[in-house]
Amino acid sequence: MKNSNKITIIDQNNNKLKAKILFTFNENGDDFVLYELNENVYAAKWKNKSELKSIEKDEWKIIEKIYEDYIDSQEKVKENDK
């Protein structure tokens, strides 16, 4: 997993929205990105780091597990900062 900064999302009304990239990862040869927009977390396949694609039903379990691990690691960092 690696951290980055921002990604531009174009919504259904063709508005450009800036989202915060939480992290990216590669699984089974596919690149994925998890990002935060308006306090919600989203996930997508990241083709050529420029085009977002829908995630397939069988990929959600992998993404959920990796996201849970990410949340756990963030909580540990917060605890260590106290």
> 29-69 pLDDT, tens per residue?
999 999 999 999 999 998 887 789 999 999 999 999 999 99
pTM of the model: 0.81
How many separate domains does the chain show? 1
41 belongs to a structural domain: yes
- Residue written as tokens 């085009």? 51
75 belongs to a structural domain: yes
Name the band, by pLDDT with cuts 50, 70 and 90, for residue 80. confident
- In the chain, % helix, strand, coil (3-state, to 5) comes to 30, 45, 25
35 belongs to a structural domain: yes
List Cα–Cα distances, 43 to 67, 78, 80, 82, in angstroms.
10, 24, 28, 30
20 belongs to a structural domain: yes
Residue 68 is part of which domain span? 6-81
* pLDDT score recorded for residue 11: 87
1 belongs to a structural domain: no
